[in-house]
Amino acid sequence: MNQEPKKGFGTANGKIILMGEHAVVYGEPAIAIPFPAVSIQTTIEQKIGPATLDCTFYRGLLQEAPLRLNSLLTAISETLAVLKKSAVDFSITITSMVPPERGMGSSAAVAVATIRALYDYFNQPLEREQLMHLIDVAETIAHGNPSGLDAAMTSGTTPLYYVKNQAFEAFDLNLNGCLIVADTGITGQTKKAIQLIEEQFITHQAATQQKITQLGTLSKQAKLALSSNDKETLGESMNQAHHLLQQLGVSNSTLDLLVDTAIENGAFGAKLTGGGLGGCMIALAETQTDADWIALKLKQNGAKNTWIYQMGANQIEK
Ligand code: MEV
């Protein structure tokens, strides 16, 4: 008798990296916050006929699409293998508000929501450790050499100070300010950005290591600033981090223009967020009014979308 439930549901958040992207791959700390303004839902329903997968939000992707689909299909087949199930007659439907390849953790979030939905469908409990392992399998395909930060953020609900292979360290954000997130509308290709830095380690080992270490130092400085409401220091750390990421070759002219625009219009600091080579940037402002003004200027200078995150209240608006 088939006792499997007829429906399964899973969800996941996007994420924003405040500091430490790329350096985190090499063991330096990073700071990230969950970003529920953009989320993913996976629904699984029993149906007659072969299993189907609907993830139409990947349609806009061109050269990145095979990698993304491969990562997702691997997450599904690995999960079914762990659950000792075969692809039965079901349909998987994924809806996403996380723009893919924008540094918001889309690939990890798709995997998290879908793995959760499969466990729910087969009515099995899902331990965090097992979830992290399954996401890592998918992320290794999507990113090549993932630090685990995206997996930790998209499967959790708290801001993290994250060091690869160490226990997650949650911390309170005592910063009273507004974070503006702006999407360049350009797909970022995190895997390519990671490879770019790997190549620099081969050609310029010492100089590359120095920049990575400096990025880690900035994450430590930012953590103190976040806990003591020191927006000047946090803003300055963000500017320095963007400069280092530029030198590592993972920024581009659109990100640089938006970072400059934010600073010229009163931000304490600004930087790219996530893998770079496109994707999103973030800026720090004192008040909602300042943030609204900066968001307007960012849109006038090419941002395709902006979000404002009130850090004190942990609220998000579009
Ligand atoms: C991508 O969101 C963040 C990177 O640091 C890669 C990773 O941590 O796996 C660029």
This model of the complex carries an ipTM of: 0.98
pLDDT at 5: 55
Report CA(147)–ligand 1 centroid distance (Å).
6
| Contact predicate 44/117, CB 8 Å | yes
Do 175-317 and 7-162 have the same topology in CATH?
Answer: no
Q: Which atom of ligand 1 is nearest to the CA of 22?
A: 5
The ranges of the chain with pLDDT < 50 are 314-318
- Ligand 1 centroid, distance to 21 Cα (angstroms): 5
Atom of ligand 1 at shortest range from CA of 105 = 2
pLDDT at 1: 53
C-alpha 37/C-alpha 317 separation (Å) is 7
Q: Where are the domains of the chain?
A: 7-162, 175-317
Write down the pLDDT at residue 205. Answer: 97
Q: Does the C-beta of 103 come closer than 6 Å to ligand 1?
A: yes
Pocket of ligand 1 contains residue 188 by CB under 6 Å: no
Domain 175-317 of CATH type 3.30.70.890 = yes
Cβ of 190 less than 6 Å from ligand 1: yes
312: tokens are: 């004190």
- Phi-psi map region of 108: left, alpha, beta (phi>0 left; psi -120 to 50 alpha): alpha
CATH of 7-162, one of 3.30.230.10, 1.20.1070.10, 3.40.50.80, 3.40.190.10: 3.30.230.10
- Tell which atom from ligand 1 comes closest to the C-alpha of 23: 5
**Quick check: 289 and 280 in contact, CB under 8 A?**
no
- Residue 85 CB neighbour total at 10 angstroms: 15
What's the pLDDT score for residue 268? 98
Side by side, the strands of the sheet bearing 280-285 are 269-273, 280-285, 178-183, 305-310, 315-317
Atom nearest to 21 CA in ligand 1: 5
Q: Report CA-CA distances (Å) from 240 to 234, 260, 266, 310.
A: 10, 13, 17, 23
Residue 37 has a pLDDT of 80
Q: How far apart are CA 12 and CA 101, in angstroms?
A: 16
